[in-house]
Amino acid sequence: MVKICFIGAGSTIFARNVLGDAMLTPSLQDAEIALYDIDKKRLKESELMLKTINNNSNQNRAKIKSFSDRKEALKGANFVINAIQVGGYKPSTVIDFEIPKKYGLQQTIGDTTGIGGIFRGLRTLPVMFEIAKDMEEVCPDAWLLNYTNPMAILTMGMLKATKIKTVGLCHSVQVCVPELFEHLGIKDQYNLDEFQWKIAGINHMAWLLEINRNGKDFYPEIRSLASKIANPHKDSVRFELMKHFGYYITESSEHNAEYHPYFIKKNYPQLIDQLQIPIDEYLRRCVTQIEGWELQREEIVNNGSLEHTRSREYASYIMDAITTGTPTVIAGNVLNKGLITNLPENCCVEVPCLVDKNGVQPTYVGNLPTQLAALNRTNINVQELTVEAAMTLEKDKIYQAALLDPHANSELSISEIKAMVDELIAAHGDYLPTYK
């Protein structure tokens, strides 16, 4: 029997997608599903919701149980899903936005790189190292499927500092081409089955390297259509990047606005409107989700008729492929062991991966176009130093990560960045370890 442990199971909607998918997958339908979360109320709600799906969509075949002890939940697991958020919306996410704002540094999402991503990573990696220690004791051969951001920082940290088999998973590769076609206004003109494409890079900054329709390069058509769409529109930043660097990027414009030094500029505030950049977007999303949960609870948790349709999340496909040997291909975040040859060795890259009984096996990509590798390296610098800070507890590594961030160093001086880091460390308090 397969055992799946979900850490952060209070993320009810995400747990529904991933574990609901498992219950609709023949090789996983009889699984033992162990749920763990530090929020006992949300954990109970997720358990109730999943048991309803199990009854309505899976003939009660799965065995679902909540645990108050993390190590007990992990014991004997074959797969561990990680979906934690250390510090939550309050106090931590608010701190990540409000303190930088005092220094004139604006953010949109703040969960991947930049000052918000650095501190989210520094809060989260110590907890993940504790999870890894538990796994090494009670399920050392399990695969950890990480969905938590900052994806590259956390996945790199786990693969460098622990023995746990880890792959990072994100939605942005699956939706890249459909979203591009929607933004170009051609989603109803073409059948995606006619297209072949290749995507690689780093998480949230992977690149649509090629796209062909029935064997013919389709990029000239994409670039031509994009050039005719006037700003502002909801994908303005990605189209600007494609205009100047030649290729479309996987993650949304609101994310990419803060990964580069070009877009959120206090001396050029007109760019915010010209490119429709949603400052403080993640704060608004958090408030909306918190307020909306009361209505969703009735629709999801207390709905005795709730069923599930399999989503496009990778987790169930990975678990099925490893369990049965039936191969599948995913986009996975893994260490760069010669996969992308002009990015640093042992950074975290997002590349196509074959999955079967041998596990997650990344595929060789080779060189990225020079300009794309250069853009990726600006973010890899921050990711590597953040991981080193978490592993060594050296405060200088935090300063250096922030000083090398493309957005922060284009807006603030060295002294301002260091003062901001000190204030953030103090504000996060016990959510961070003591740095030397």
Q: Which residues are catalytic?
A: 171
What's the rounded Cα separation, in Å, for the pair 377 and 380?
Answer: 5
Identity of residue 396: D
Examine residue 406 and say whether the peptide bond preceding it is cis (omega within 30 degrees of 0). no
- Do the beta carbons of residue 170 and residue 203 sit within 8 Å? yes
In angstroms and rounded to an integer, the radius of gyration of the C-alpha atoms of the chain is 21
170 annotated to bind ligand: yes
* CB neighbourhood size of 264 (10 A): 24
Identity of residue 26: P
Residue 29 parent element (H or E): none
Our measurement of the distance from residue 316's CA atom to the centroid of its chain's CA atoms, rounded to an integer in Å, reads 17
Identity of residue 359: G
What's the rounded Cα separation, in Å, for the pair 417 and 99?
Answer: 11
Helix (H, G, I), strand (E, B) or coil at 234: coil
What's the rounded Cα separation, in Å, for the pair 125 and 87?
Answer: 12
What's the rounded Cα separation, in Å, for the pair 107 and 364?
Answer: 34
- Do the beta carbons of residue 142 and residue 175 sit within 8 Å? no
State residue 174 phi and psi, 5-degree precision.
-60, -35
Which CA distances in Å does 258 have to 112, 277, 343, 348?
Answer: 9, 9, 21, 19
C-alpha closest to that of 18 among 415, 359, 317, 421: 317
Identity of residue 361: Q
Q: Which residue has the tokens 């030649």?
A: 246
* CB neighbourhood size of 144 (10 A): 25
CA neighbours closer than 13 Å in the CB half-sphere of residue 32: 12
Examine residue 327 and say whether the peptide bond preceding it is cis (omega within 30 degrees of 0). no
What's the rounded Cα separation, in Å, for the pair 14 and 8?
Answer: 10
176 annotated to bind ligand: no
3-state secondary structure 148-161: CCCHHHHHHHHHHH
What's the rounded Cα separation, in Å, for the pair 177 and 170?
Answer: 15
Helix (H, G, I), strand (E, B) or coil at 171: coil
**Binding annotation:** 149, 170, 204
**Binding annotation for substrate:** 149
**Binding annotation for Mn(2+):** 170, 204
